[in-house]
Structure 1
Amino acid sequence: MRRLTCLELNAAAFAPFGAVIDGEGRAPESINDGTTQRYADLARLDLCANAGDGAPLIHLYVASARRFPLRLARLERHRRASQVFIPLNGQRFIIVVAPGGPLPDWERMQAFLSKPGQAVSLHRGCWHHGLVALNDSDRFAVIEGGAYRTDTEELDAPEDILLELPE
């Protein structure tokens, strides 16, 4: 049995899998008569690989807390669209990803723990685990391509992999 621990979510470590959406370290632009600070161009969306994929969609996910250690039974990917997870209450969450092409590289799987207020945009085709919420009723806005129902590929893990909750 293999154990996986969480790393801190940061842009450099997460870059092979997608973008961290966070204004930290960036200079905002003042808009709306100075009442709003805009952190622009934090992530690019890649939501329509094919003309028939349909318009991008926004969903609301209300998640249950996971129990730890969490058995990571499978990974999924979406080959025709990126996917964005935005916590609506500023809560932390865990994103589990793995490099790979037709198959995930299970040995190089990584888990990242977000800081409050961070969101992520996964690259199109990125292998990832389903949403890992830390609290019951955590709410997320999820942006994805219109063909998400037919664009989800799942693969079972070849061995038991346990994700441990960080201290």
Structure 2
Amino acid sequence: MSNLVIIAKVLTAEDFAPFGDVLEVDGPPDKIINQGMCGRHHDLARLDFSEGRAGISLFDAKARTLPHTVDMVERHPDGSQAFIPVDGVPMLVVVADDADGEPVNLKAFVSQPGQSINLHRGTWHGVLAPLGGPGRYMVVDRIGDGANLEEHWFPAPYVVEAPES
């Protein structure tokens, strides 16, 4: 079987909306706080957890390159999952629609400076894949008992290629 090719796109809130939230500053702050010294861009992501609690973890991820092979995707049925770059390294974000428990219609996005993502609960997605160098990411997700991970391995891998210029 030959590889299936996906051309990555630049990450935009509109294109990513079916899978999650793009967290980025877009316009003036919603509130000015701290005696006028700080602007708050309020409530940018829909955190959604079943039983358990929100936790913040720090992930150190090795660099990936394009083209990038995707042989597996995963999802978290009990909670959303946000990825916030600490050191500004962009990431490749692979997501898929769900068809009766199976990932279909894979899409790939490349984050831009200042962007973070929040994957909706149950969204099929690829592994954390920093581009251009290793990356450190703050991750906000569900901490609790029970399995919160489903994996799907593809019979033939997908290959993500760089966005068209």
Q: TM-score under structure 1 normalisation?
A: 0.89
In structure 2, runs of 5+ residues without a counterpart are none
Separation in 2 of the partners of 1:162 and 1:37?
Answer: 41
Q: Is the 8 A contact 2:25 2:114 kept in 1?
A: no
Q: Per residue, is there more strand in 1 or in 2? A: 2
Spell out, residue by residue over 1:2-59, the C-alpha distance to the aligned partner (whole angstroms, 9 max, x if none): 1111111111111100111111235442211121111112112002x13xxx322111
Indicate the SS of the match to 1:20.
strand
Separation in 1 of the partners of 2:19 and 2:115?
Answer: 15
Match of 1:109 in 2: 106
Cα-Cα RMSD: 1.7
Match of 1:4 in 2: 6
Counterparts of 1:1-167 in structure 2, within 5 Å, are 1-47=3-49, 49-50=50-51, 54-100=52-98, 101-105=100-104, 108-147=105-144, 150-166=147-163
In structure 1, runs of 5+ residues without a counterpart are none
> Which letter does structure 1 place at the counterpart of 2:4?
R
Separation in 1 of the partners of 2:77 and 2:23?
Answer: 21
Separation in 2 of the partners of 1:162 and 1:149?
Answer: 32
Spell out, residue by residue over 1:86-119, the C-alpha distance to the aligned partner (whole angstroms, 9 max, x if none): 00122311110001041111xx110011111111
Separation in 1 of the partners of 2:55 and 2:145?
Answer: 9
> Which letter does structure 1 place at the counterpart of 2:37?
T
Aligned residues: 161
> Which letter does structure 2 place at the counterpart of 1:118?
Q
Indicate the SS of the match to 1:13.
helix
Aligned-residue identity in percent: 37
Structure 1 outlier segments of 4+, above 4 Å: none
Separation in 2 of the partners of 1:154 and 1:44?
Answer: 23
